[in-house]
Amino acid sequence: MSSNAQAPNIRHYLQFADFTADEYAHVFARAALIKKKFKTYEKHQPLVDRTMAMIFEKASTRTRVSFEAGMYQMGGSVVHLTTGDSQLGRAEPIEDSAKVISRMVDLVMIRTFEQAKIEAFAAHSRVPVINGLTNEFHPCQILADIFTFIEHRGSIKGRTVAWVGDGNNMANTWLQAAEILGFTVHVSTPTGYEVDQSVAGIRSSDSYKVFKDPMEACRGADLVTTDVWTSMGYEAENEARRKAFADWCVDQDMMRAAQPDALFMHCLPAHRGEEVEAEVIDGPQSVVWDEAENRMHVQKSLMEFLLLGRL
């Protein structure tokens, strides 16, 4: 199905800000339909004969399984590449890789290090490129998180999300989402690990508030969420981070400070006893398994939207 023609109107999904609120409403509605069909064993195969290349320069469980299973369910197929088993690991320029790979497939998903790298790939790609996580952003995860919130609690507009932990790719993406979808993020990070508005790529500080004390960030929140203390690529900082983050463990007191019906989310993988207590992640307010499963449903909707537009 791949074409050699340059597609003038291709859309990429490199960060959350790449779509409007209206487009998100469409993607979430389609995801709900696609999920319903999956649950009732009804085929949904709009991507027959389409191929996606998945490039992983970092480890993955959820992202790989959700994209790969999702693509097969929609009638397409995938090619899985890693740094170690491709010429990417032998210094072939990213621009050359983009030109070659995008002549043979219909869609590319990349998990890599610097955002600049995925942007360089997209600039030389003939087909849509999806960010499967960079140092700066993880838009597919926040897509799943917000879809999960909507499923459990309705619209996220006007709600409060507490971010407890590192000012990392997940935190940056939450900030972008808040600006686009109209909710507020309460951010609490240790000193030295704050979010940086310019890295997060947001226009103003109107949609987030910074709290020194993670308990205060959780007060009144509709959703409490966190992530590992050390993201992939930052392992050399492990020991320093263990000390700095000791008080940024989501515990039952923090959940009690939030709304009585507050949800808990974590993109996973999680470290019980570090960024979250086992009683919270395995407790009644946690929706982490729905959140993980929803990666597949929202990404099927995303792939459909990028390849076929509004159906």
Interatomic CA distance for residues 175 and 187, integer angstroms: 9
Question: Could you tell me which of 186, 188, 187, 179 has the C-alpha nearest to residue 157?
Answer: 179
Residue 170, binding choice from ligand NVA, ligand CP, none, Cβ under 5 to 8 Å by partner class: ligand NVA
Q: Which helix (H) or strand (E) holds 81?
A: strand 77-82
Write out the binding residues for ligand NVA, residues 227-256 only, by CB under 6 A: 227-228, 231-232
C-beta of 58 vs 209, nearer to ligand CP: 58
Residue 168, binding choice from ligand NVA, ligand CP, none, Cβ under 5 to 8 Å by partner class: ligand NVA
Write out the binding residues for ligand NVA, residues 139-168 only, by CB under 6 A: 168
The binding track of 54-93 with respect to ligand CP, each residue x by CB under 6 A or -, is ------xxxx------------------------------
Interatomic CA distance for residues 37 and 184, integer angstroms: 33
- Asked if the bond preceding 269 is cis, omega within 30° of 0, the reply is yes
Residue 173, binding choice from ligand NVA, ligand CP, none, Cβ under 5 to 8 Å by partner class: none
Interatomic CA distance for residues 227 and 250, integer angstroms: 10
Indicate the DSSP class of residue 40.
Answer: T
Interatomic CA distance for residues 44 and 40, integer angstroms: 11
Give yes or no for a contact between 108 and 128, defined as CB atoms under 8 angstroms apart.
yes
Neighbours of 5 (CB within 10 A): 7
Q: Cα-flanking dihedrals φ and ψ of residue 205, to 5°?
A: -100, 15
Q: Does 267 bind ligand CP (CB under 6 A)?
A: yes
C-beta of 66 vs 301, nearer to ligand NVA: 66
3-class DSSP assignment, residue 57? coil
3-class DSSP assignment, residue 13? strand
The binding track of 106-145 with respect to ligand NVA, each residue x by CB under 6 A or -, is ---------------------------x------------
Residues annotated catalytic, as ranges: 111, 138, 141, 227, 267, 295
C-beta of 145 vs 227, nearer to ligand NVA: 227
Q: Does 141 bind ligand CP (CB under 6 A)?
A: yes
Q: Does 268 bind ligand CP (CB under 6 A)?
A: yes
Write out the binding residues for ligand NVA, residues 269-298 only, by CB under 6 A: none
Q: Does 299 bind ligand CP (CB under 6 A)?
A: no
In whole angstroms, how close is the CB of 53 to ligand CP at the nearest point? 17
Q: Does 199 bind ligand NVA (CB under 6 A)?
A: no
Give yes or no for a contact between 109 and 132, defined as CB atoms under 8 angstroms apart.
yes
Residues that bind ligand CP (CB under 6 A): 60-63, 133, 141, 267-268
